[in-house]
Amino acid sequence: MKGRFFRLVFFTITILVGLAMGIILGWTISPVTNRNTDLTSLHIDYKTDYVLMIAERHHQDGNVSLALDHLGYLGNIPPLVILENVVDHAERIHYAPEDMRLMYDLAAAIQIKLDE
């Protein structure tokens, strides 16, 4: 019984010391620094998800100008080039057909808007 009690006390103290050291390390010695990054630094997976969210929003409200504004956050690349890159990536990693359709519809709507 005594051995079990001492193991439990030792375990509890070890957990508390580790937690305290983690907090001290994370908050004082090596805190995370905030960086002002933009969407251009996103990995292609996240850019594809971002474009899918724009396509879903466009499907709901039909606002092509708003979609173009949001695509502009991905850099000074023409929107159709962005869409081509992310759709190609989405096809390679087998996005759902409904998601692909939304992105194709967005690309078609942008093409129509740019041709006006």
> How does pLDDT run along the chain (116 residues), one tens digit per residue?
678 888 999 999 999 999 999 999 989 888 877 677 788 888 999 999 999 999 999 999 999 999 999 999 998 999 999 999 999 999 999 999 999 999 999 999 999 998 88
User: How far is 1 from 78, CA to CA, in rounded Å?
Assistant: 72
pTM of the model: 0.71
Same domain for 51 and 70: yes
Domain count, the chain: 2
Domain membership of residue 58 as a residue range? 39-115
Q: Looking at the structure, do residues 5 and 29 belong to the same domain, yes or no? A: yes
pLDDT of residue 19: 96
The pLDDT value recorded for residue 1 is 67
Token output for 11: 């375990």
Query: Is the domain of 15 the same as that of 47?
Result: no
Per-residue DSSP letter, 93? T
60-80 exposure pattern, b = at least 16 Cβ within 10 A, e = fewer: eeeebeebbebbeebeeeebe
> Is 49 in the same domain as 26?
no
State the helix-helix crossing angle for 79-92 and 97-115, rounded to 10 degrees. Answer: 160
Residue 43, phi then psi, degrees to nearest 5: -70, 155
Q: Rounded to whole angstroms, how far apart are CA atoms 49 and 27?
A: 32
Q: What's the pLDDT score for residue 42?
A: 87
In a shared domain, residues 54 and 92: yes
